[in-house]
Amino acid sequence: DSGVTQTPKHLITATGQRVTLRCSPRSGDLSVYWYQQSLDQGLQFLIHYYNGEERAKGNILERFSAQQFPDLHSELNLSSLELGDSALYFCASSVDGGGHYFGPGTRLTVL
């Protein structure tokens, strides 16, 4: 158990819908990262927040957004969902930007 929690574990929704994925980092970690894992793209960095501020963006679509709240939990919002958004979404946290500790992931299925 990494200490990073993610909810929900599974999410099934339809195209065009909006969903919110939630992540709680390990106690004491100020950094939260979001990654997308699909079969054809591997693990792709989406976005990084540090203590409530956005620090880096990767290949994140404009339909996706994230935020980190004062209690350090983070939410990833995915809107206007498409079939191709079906993937595993992982949250990770770290204290010093080195080793990332990953949560169990949210499996998103868009029908």
Partner 1 sequence: QQQVKQSPQSLIVQKGGISIINCAYENTAFDYFPWYQQFPGKGPALLIAIRPDVSEKKEGRFTISFNKSAKQFSLHIMDSQPGDSATYFCAGIIQGAQKLVFGQGTRLTINP
Taking the C-alpha atoms of residue 95 and residue 8, their distance in angstroms, rounded to an integer, is 24
Residue 25 within binding range of partner 1, rule CB under 8 A: no
Residue 45 within binding range of partner 1, rule CB under 8 A: yes
Taking the C-alpha atoms of residue 73 and residue 101, their distance in angstroms, rounded to an integer, is 14
Residue pointed to by tokens 């339809």: 14
Whether the bond between 25 and the residue before it is cis, its omega within 30 degrees of 0, is no
Which of residues 13, 20, 55, 65 is near partner 1 by CB under 8 A? 55
Closer residue to partner 1 (CB): 43 or 111: 43
Q: What is the DSSP letter of 26?
A: P
Which of residues 11, 26, 35, 85 is near partner 1 by CB under 8 A? 35
For 61, counting Cβ atoms within 10 Å of its Cβ (0-12 exposed, 13-18 middle, 19+ buried), the class is: middle
Residue 48 within binding range of partner 1, rule CB under 8 A: yes
Closest separation in Å from C-beta 47 to partner 1? 9
Residues that bind partner 1 (CB under 8 A): 2, 4, 31, 33, 35, 42-45, 48, 50, 55-56, 58, 90, 92, 96-105
